[in-house]
Amino acid sequence: MPDWLMLRMPMITTAMFVFAVGACVGSLINVVVYRMPLGLDVVRPTSRCPSCGTKLTWRENIPVLGWVLLGGRCRFCKARISPEYPVVELIVAVLFGGAFLLWYMTPADLTVLGVPLGSVAPEWAENGAPRTWPAFVVLITLLGSLVAMTIVDARTCTIPLVLCWIPTAVALLGHVGHALWIETAHGTPRAIEPGIWAVGRLRWESAIGEVWTLATGGTTNPRFVGFGIGGVIGLGVSNLLMLAGLIGRSFADYEEWEAGAIAEAKEQQPGAEDAESGVEEDGPAPTDLWIRYPHARREMVRELAFLAPVVGLGVLGGWIGARLAGGGEIGPAGIPVPTESMPLWLTVLGGVLMGYLIGGGIVWAIRILGTLAFGKEAMGLGDVHLMAAVGACLGWIDPVIAFFGAAFVGIGWALLAALARGRLSKAMPYGPFLAIATVLVIAFKPAIEAGLGRMFGLDTPLDLP
């Protein structure tokens, strides 16, 4: 075996392990996207053939290969097994394994067909997998959750909130825990080179001299950190007020209204499809019935009331943070003056929380403004939670760019559906577009960063004006 290959064997083995983990996660996602919309337990009962109900053994549950070895049919009843199962498993495996290969094993000077693959990896990954694996786990958790959310949303036009809460919780534990680990091992870093992506880029004050630019970015501005903490406390207060009945839950009467609308449509044309209503007798409600809900503007007032404690406590938290830090001075070009006493874990916590608030907040703002303008629900709350999770994992800038990039993904889908001539549905909820745009931002962040630098006339991609 060549020496260079021998030296790379540990990383190759790790990449194969990550690929296998991705395939297993894809298998779990297949279970989740089938059972969760039906209200079934994801863990119990164990996997069974949907046709004959026979309990599957480990041989049938091998990701990808199990379907191939079975010839796409159940071993017991010979019923056809959808190829969607191995396709999902393979997609997640490629996402996990591909991220590891691009971020940890691609030479910095590698260029393929003019594409500089060596520059795809985020800067924090340059510190190597042994030091940055918590951040990598956060990001692949987000990728797996985005795949699950995309499938469920495309099928049901809903996003189960638990699929958004999982990456958010992993980000909170992984990023903040990672920062504590770094700080314990190497001391508190100092802030240097503020830039577009890592608003307060940090370098360790050690002989190693490595750069700490976790996915959340982060800033040493105490107002930023204080607003994040206060805003999340405000979310908790709003939920408690809603549980106590002091703030009404938005669209609480929608199901009652929907049942009445369906009954009225059936009375108008019993036993036949009403071309105007789109409701068939004894059939499910049409997926676009929510558009006709007449009280959407009223419900936005309730959501504004829900958000009031978030904004109020966020502003209060920012003020308290600035006071505790001695003012939180802002230097030239609006760059925060480094606060040496701020612990790294607190800086990263601020990045996670503000990413969560801004990622979800931008979608919620469009939802409220669009609904008030048109009188119809503009975007779903599932989209709000989706981008909030993205912000918690990646920081506040990535979900903002992904949100606007999703419009171009939607245009691309519409063109593809038109070329497919009816083989693809032109109607698609916005969640899958948001998920795809997020993956594109993750994969092509350096190119997007360089493009933004040229667009705003910056000398280098990371220089602030």
Q: Is residue 140 over pLDDT 60?
A: yes
Range in 62-66, 117-121, 138-142, 146-150 the model is least confident about: 117-121
Strand partners, 190: 203
Range in 66-75, 131-140, 369-378 the model is least confident about: 66-75
Summarised one tens digit per residue, pLDDT across range 29-57 is 998 998 888 888 887 777 777 777 777 77
**Distance in Å from the first CA to the final CA of the chain:** 52
Range in 29-38, 79-88, 117-126, 306-315 the model is least confident about: 117-126
Parallel, antiparallel or unpaired: strands 190-191 and 211-212: unpaired
Q: Is residue 333 over pLDDT 80?
A: no
CA atoms of 394 and 216, how far apart (whole Å):
5
Alpha-carbon distances, residue 209 vs 103, 190, 200, 201 (angstroms): 20, 11, 16, 13
| Helices marked H in 275-428 | 296-324, 344-374, 381-394, 397-420
Residues 54-66, mean pLDDT to the nearest whole number? 79
CA atoms of 30 and 24, how far apart (whole Å):
10
Which residues fall within 8 angstroms of residue 315, CB to CB, at 6 or more apart? 227, 230
Q: What is the pTM of this model?
A: 0.85
Summarised one tens digit per residue, pLDDT across range 281-293 is 444 445 567 678 8
3-state secondary structure 332-355: HHHCECCCCCCCHHHHHHHHHHHH
Residues 398-404, mean pLDDT to the nearest whole number? 91
Of residues 124 and 26, more confidently modeled: 26
Asked if 212 and 124 count as a contact pair (C-beta separation under 8 A), the reply is: yes
Summarised one tens digit per residue, pLDDT across range 184-203 is 877 766 655 444 444 445 55
CA atoms of 23 and 63, how far apart (whole Å):
6
Q: How many whole angstroms from its chain centre is CA 165?
A: 10
